[in-house]
Structure 1
Amino acid sequence: MIVVTGATGNVGRPLTRALTEAGQQVTAVSRHTAAVPDGVRHLTADLARPAELKPALAGAAALFLLLSGNLHAAGHRPADLIAEAAAAGVRRVVLLSSQGVATRPFGPTRIALRELEDTLRASGLEWAVLRPGGFASNALWWAESVRAQGLVAAPFGDVGVPIVDPADIAAVAAACLLEDRHAGGVYELTGPEVITPRQQAAAIADALGTPVRFHELTRAEARAAMSRVMPAELADDTLDILGAPNPAELRVGPDVERVLGRAPRPFSAWAARNVAAFRADRV
């Protein structure tokens, strides 16, 4: 049995589906009650209280560990989640980390994630670490303004990075959970091309078949909005990358293709697949 945390999110949903289609028993864990595929057990747990994960881990062979934004704030102890997994007899943990652990090692949230990676390596468990860059699904932040106003508002409109489709992250995670050959692997996950927020807005417009305007936010405006849904230090670390990516953050990595045997999906494919979220007539 495989436990998937963050199971109702943009990575967890396709991962749960992929594991189920591979014939695995899956326990989906989220903070709130949610619909899951047929045959999947769903449990609620707040990972900020690691003991709440115990019922899900009983009898589990593997764990996909995804930390919600609040767990990146000071005062939380995500390493306790790994201790709970080890105590429950879990054999393998696949951790969703961040590209910034390598490219921005001194950012406050990156230091915490590196410490978590180090805890996992020292745990005695089998492990793999996924380090994605920016997620294509972050464009869902714009869905409401696109529906209401035909508008994307974002900072750094002409600065791009090779954002990755969460479905590709999920596919790599499934491979790491199921295949022994990925034990001890650290995978940097990117999309196939550098793409700017302005270009993302154009791709959404193409998927919709209607114009979408772009408005550039200041860094301060973007930080204020992001800080309402994530710790301020995580917002700052993210904006540092989006505003001035370094050469490592601009690099299109080979690891999605190396693991999956195919190129990563472009943002345009993500936009076409998720176009309903941006339609003004969405029910």
Structure 2
Amino acid sequence: MHIILGATGHVGSALTQALLARNEPVTVVTRKASKAESLKTKGAHVVEVDVFDTTALHRVIEGGHRLFALNPPAPPSTDTVAEERKSLNAIVAALEGCKLEKIVCESTYGAQPGDGIGDLGVLYDMEQALRQTGAAPVSAIRAAYYMSNWDASLATAQKEGKVHSMYPPDFKLPMVAPHDLGEFAARLMLGAAEASGPHYVEGPERYSPGDVARAFAQALGRPVQVAVTPPEQWEQAFRSLGFSEAAAKSYVAMTRLTLESKEEPERPERGATSLEAYISALVRKSAT
């Protein structure tokens, strides 16, 4: 039995569907069972458990053989780093005494030790903490920037003819479609019960905000430009979106590190979905 944390998100859902398509038994863990109804219809066993309920989570994990660990993102209105460290600690506590065949965890490009740097620090700590539990061999996926992060730009591209970005129009980022991450995670989940990675996963090539704007322009059939937010306005921009002061500061630090410390893995795993194909599908879906 595969146990999937974060199964109702972009990547967890893609992974669950990839495993079900291979006729694998899957239990998905969610705080609200209603959000997993479509996965239940496809054959997944759904368990409603809050990640902070370590006793209940331990019981679920103990009933499986392989675990996909995704630390849930905290609401931006909170101190996201503090809250995500709490949920990470709860997952680690739930693993105490468990003996699994394998753990696959979802981390990120740029993961590194440090405080106040958002997911870069928290997910690095997750990689280390899961290995230290001794519950199972760990394989870490360091995922590129999710193409789904641009989903919210559809509205501004349609209404304003703009894609808002904190990166320069020509800054190339590793990006990846959640579907491709799910497929790669499925292969790891079904692979040898041994530690591996970190596995860097990105799309067929790297893309810039300018490429995003061009993809929206092509899909929408109208001009779309990049509107760049300068660094001195980053924190206020996050605050205007409802981020707490602490969250805004950590996201600013994470954005700056991404801009200044471009990661170049020697042999990244490459998904098949191009940015153009992803944006085109997003626009088509919004029209139905």
TM bucket (normalised to shorter chain) is 0.7 to 0.9
Asked whether the 8 Å contact 1:97–1:129 carries over to 2, the reply is yes
Identify the residue that residue 145 of structure 2 maps to in structure 1: 134
Residues matched between the structures, number: 270
1: CA distance between counterparts of 2:6 and 2:137? Answer: 20
Could you tell me which of 217, 220, 239 is aligned with 2:235? Answer: 220
Offset at residue 138 of structure 1 (A): 0.4
2: CA distance between counterparts of 1:240 and 1:46? Answer: 33
Identify the residue that residue 11 of structure 1 maps to in structure 2: 11
Aligned partner of 1:142: which letter? S
Could you tell me which of 157, 168, 174 is aligned with 1:157? Answer: 168
Per-residue Cα deviation, 1:43-91 (whole angstroms, up to 9, x for no partner):
2333244344235324111111111221952251513313423534433
| Distance change >3 Å, CA 217–CA 31, structure 1 → 2 | farther
Identify the residue that residue 205 of structure 2 maps to in structure 1: 193
Where structure 2 has 5 or more consecutive residues not aligned to the other structure, the ranges are: none
Aligned partner of 1:138: which letter? N
Aligned partner of 2:162: which letter? L
Aligned partner of 2:26: which letter? V
Q: Secondary structure at the match of 1:70?
A: coil
Aligned partner of 1:98: which letter? T
Offset at residue 129 of structure 1 (A): 0.4
Per-residue Cα deviation, 1:179-233 (whole angstroms, up to 9, x for no partner):
0076333111222333221220211221233333432223234432566399335
Asked whether the 8 Å contact 2:166–2:229 carries over to 1, the reply is yes
Offset at residue 121 of structure 1 (A): 1.5
Could you tell me which of 268, 275, 278 is aligned with 1:255? Answer: 268
1: CA distance between counterparts of 2:278 and 2:115? Answer: 29
Q: Secondary structure at the match of 1:29?
A: strand
Where structure 1 has 5 or more consecutive residues not aligned to the other structure, the ranges are: 258-262
1: CA distance between counterparts of 2:72 and 2:279? Answer: 24
1: CA distance between counterparts of 2:50 and 2:158? Answer: 32
| Distance change >3 Å, CA 167–CA 254, structure 1 → 2 | farther
**Equivalence map 1:102-121=2 (5 Å):** 102=112, 105-108=113-116, 109=118, 110-121=120-131
Offset at residue 92 of structure 1 (A): 1.6
Identify the residue that residue 84 of structure 1 maps to in structure 2: 94
1: CA distance between counterparts of 2:62 and 2:149? Answer: 33
Identify the residue that residue 57 of structure 1 maps to in structure 2: 61
2: CA distance between counterparts of 1:186 and 1:157? Answer: 28
TM (normalized to structure 2)? Answer: 0.81
2: CA distance between counterparts of 1:252 and 1:170? Answer: 20
Identify the residue that residue 2 of structure 1 maps to in structure 2: 2
Asked whether the 8 Å contact 2:165–2:209 carries over to 1, the reply is yes
Let me know the Cα RMSD of the aligned residues.
2.7
Identify the residue that residue 24 of structure 1 maps to in structure 2: 24
Identify the residue that residue 100 of structure 1 maps to in structure 2: 110
Offset at residue 27 of structure 1 (A): 1.3
Asked whether the 8 Å contact 2:158–2:220 carries over to 1, the reply is no
| Distance change >3 Å, CA 156–CA 186, structure 1 → 2 | closer
Identify the residue that residue 123 of structure 1 maps to in structure 2: 133
| Distance change >3 Å, CA 253–CA 147, structure 1 → 2 | farther
Determine if the alignment matches structure 1 residue 235 to structure 2 residue 251: yes
2: CA distance between counterparts of 1:274 and 1:253? Answer: 31
Asked whether the 8 Å contact 1:11–1:169 carries over to 2, the reply is yes
Identify the residue that residue 179 of structure 1 maps to in structure 2: 191
Offset at residue 148 of structure 1 (A): 3.8
Identify the residue that residue 38 of structure 2 maps to in structure 1: 36
Q: Secondary structure at the match of 1:100?
A: coil
Q: Secondary structure at the match of 1:4?
A: strand
Identity of aligned residues (%): 23
TM (normalized to structure 1)? Answer: 0.82
2: CA distance between counterparts of 1:156 and 1:17? Answer: 33
Determine if the alignment matches structure 1 residue 265 to structure 2 residue 273: yes
Q: Secondary structure at the match of 2:138?
A: strand
| Distance change >3 Å, CA 107–CA 205, structure 1 → 2 | farther
Asked whether the 8 Å contact 1:190–1:253 carries over to 2, the reply is no
